[in-house]
C-alpha cells in the first residue's frame, strides 16, 4: 500500500486545527503537513510539520506538493458566508481559485485523493426548507453559496474528466471549542457558549426562531475521515454529500444552556446575517450519505451542550 503524505491547507482555522490533529493520529505526525496563510495555530505547535503558504500562489503550492511528496490534499482555505457578503469578489476569487489550483495539481501529480468541503449554503430560498434532499432546486443567494455550488461542479468535472478522486461534504454550521470560527452566519452557536460562561448573557445576531442545520465538530471530523476512507466504489456523489446531525434555533440553544447556567440571559439584535440564515434550509436530509458510506451522527443539542460547557470550563 502506498504511504500517504497529506497536506492540509487552511490548517489554522476552525476545522483545520482539529482535522490536522485527527489526521496526525491516523497517519503519523510527520506525514501530515499543516499549512496556512496565517501563522501556525498554537494548538498545532509541536505536533507536526507546518509550512506558511498562500494557496493562491499555484507555483509555490506545486513546489511544496512535489518537494514534500504529497499524495492527498485537504483544502480548507475559504472565505465564509458573512465575511463573503462584505467582500464578494475576494470570496469568489479565493474560494474558486484555491480549488482550481488544487484540482489542477492533483490531476498533474496524480494525487490519490483530494478533500474539499462544500456547505448547506449552496441551498437558497427556493430549496425545500425542511429535510432538504440531496438533489433538489439549488439557487444560492450569497456569494459564498454560489462559490460552493460552482466548486461542487468543478469537483464533479475533475472526477469525470480526469479521474481525480475528489470528495466533498456539505457541512452544516459547525460548533467547536478549540479554534475560533472564521466569519460564518452560524458562528453565534459557538459565541453563545463562551459568553454564557464568561458574561452569563449573550446578544444574538439572529432572531430567536431561526432554525439552522448544525453539527458538533467531533461528528464533522469523523464524517470527513469516514468519507475519505470509504472505498471508491461507495462514493456515488461527486459534487458534494448532504450531511446532517441536528437543527435548532437560538431560543432552543439558549434554553439548553440555561439548564446548566440558570442565570444565563439571551437578547436578540438581528443584523445582515439574518437574511443569509433565512435563505438556508432549516434541516437537511443526509439519507444518501447514510446509504453510500454509512453516515450516522452521535451528538444532539443536549449532548453537545454538556460537552462544550465542560471543555470550555
Ligand atoms: P476558517 O475561516 O476558520 O479557516 C480557514 C483558514 O484558511 C484560515 O485559517 C485562513 O487563514 C486560511 N486561509 C485563508 N486564505 C488563505 C490562503 N490564501 N492561503 C492559505 N490559507 C488561507 O474556516 P473553517 O470554518 O475552518 O472552514 C473550512 C472549510 O469548511 C471552508 O471551505 C468552509 O467553507 C467550510 N465550511 C465550514 C463550516 C463551518 O461552520 N465552519 C460550515 C460549512 C463549510
Ligand atoms: N457555517 C458556515 C457559515 O455560516 C456554513 O457554511 O458560513
In this predicted model, what pLDDT tens digit does every residue of 90-106 receive, in sequence order? 999 999 999 999 999 99
Predicted TM-score of the model (pTM): 0.98
In this predicted model, what pLDDT tens digit does every residue of 271-294 receive, in sequence order? 999 999 999 999 999 999 999 999
Residue 283's domain comprises 174-214+245-312
Give the ligand 2 atom nearest the CA of 171: 6
Asked if the structure places residue 161 within a domain, the reply is: yes
The verdict on 42 and 188 lying in the same domain is no
User: What grid cell was written down for 208?
Assistant: 430567536
The verdict on 284 and 155 lying in the same domain is no
The verdict on 96 and 178 lying in the same domain is no
d(CA 40, CA 220): 22
The verdict on 167 and 255 lying in the same domain is no
The verdict on 11 and 87 lying in the same domain is yes
The verdict on 119 and 260 lying in the same domain is no
Total structural domains in the chain?
Answer: 2
Please work out whether the CB of residue 185 comes within 6 Å of at least one atom of ligand 2.
yes
The verdict on 200 and 259 lying in the same domain is yes
CATH code (residue 256): 3.90.25.10
The verdict on 181 and 102 lying in the same domain is no
d(CA 169, CA 245): 13
Catalytically active residues, by annotation: 144
CATH code (residue 54): 3.40.50.720
Give the ligand 1 atom nearest the CA of 186: 40
In this predicted model, what pLDDT tens digit does every residue of 26-70 receive, in sequence order? 999 999 999 999 999 999 999 999 999 999 999 999 999 999 999
Asked if the structure places residue 1 within a domain, the reply is: no
Please work out whether the CB of residue 254 comes within 6 Å of at least one atom of ligand 1.
no
What is the best residue among 10, 14, 80, 214 to mutate for testing ligand 2's pocket, by most ligand atoms within 8 Å of CB?
80
The verdict on 57 and 150 lying in the same domain is yes
What is the best residue among 120, 173, 277, 284 to mutate for testing ligand 2's pocket, by most ligand atoms within 8 Å of CB?
173
Amino acid at each position: 500500500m502506498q504511504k500517504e503524505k497529506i497536506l492540509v491547507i487552511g490548517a489554522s482555522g476552525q476545522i483545520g486545527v482539529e482535522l490536522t490533529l485527527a489526521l496526525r493520529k491516523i497517519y503519523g505526525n510527520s506525514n501530515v503537513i499543516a499549512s496556512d496563510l496565517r501563522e501556525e495555530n498554537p494548538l498545532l505547535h509541536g505536533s507536526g510539520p507546518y509550512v506558511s503558504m498562500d494557496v493562491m500562489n499555484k507555483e509555490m503550492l506545486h513546489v511544496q506538493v512535489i518537494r514534500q511528496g504529497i499524495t492527498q490534499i485537504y483544502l480548507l482555505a475559504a472565505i465564509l458566508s458573512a465575511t463573503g457578503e462584505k467582500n464578494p469578489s475576494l470570496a469568489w476569487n479565493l474560494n474558486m481559485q484555491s480549488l482550481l489550483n488544487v484540482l489542477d495539481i492533483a490531476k498533474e501529480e496524480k494525487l490519490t485523493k483530494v478533500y474539499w468541503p462544500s456547505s448547506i449554503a449552496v441551498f437558497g430560498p427556493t430549496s425545500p426548507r425542511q429535510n432538504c434532499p440531496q438533489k433538489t432546486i439549488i439557487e444560492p443567494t450569497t456569494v459564498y453559496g454560489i462559490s460552493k455550488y460552482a466548486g461542487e461542479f468543478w469537483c464533479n468535472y475533475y472526477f469525470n474528466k480526469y479521474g481525480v478522486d475528489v470528495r466533498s461534504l456539505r457541512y452544516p454550521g459547525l460548533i467547536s471549542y478549540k479554534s475560533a470560527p472564521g466569519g460564518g452566519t452560524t458562528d453565534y452557536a459557538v459565541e453563545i457558549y463562551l459568553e454564557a460562561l464568561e458574561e452569563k448573557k449573550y446578544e444574538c445576531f439572529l432572531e430567536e426562531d431561526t432554525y439552522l442545520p448544525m453539527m458538533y465538530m467531533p461528528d464533522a471530523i469523523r464524517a470527513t475521515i469516514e468519507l475519505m476512507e470509504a472505498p471508491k466504489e461507495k462514493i456515488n456523489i461527486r459534487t458534494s454529500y448532504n450531511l446532517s446531525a441536528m437543527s435548532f434555533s437560538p431560543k432552543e440553544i439558549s434554553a439548553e444552556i440555561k439548564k446548566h447556567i440558570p442565570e444565563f440571559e439571551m437578547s436578540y439584535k438581528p443584523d445582515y446575517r439574518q437574511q443569509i440564515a433565512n435563505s438556508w434550509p432549516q434541516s437537511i436530509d443526509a439519507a444518501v450519505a447514510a446509504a453510500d458510506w454509512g453516515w450516522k451522527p452521535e451528538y444532539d443539542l443536549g449532548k453537545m451542550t454538556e460537552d462544550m460547557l465542560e471543555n470550555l470550563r
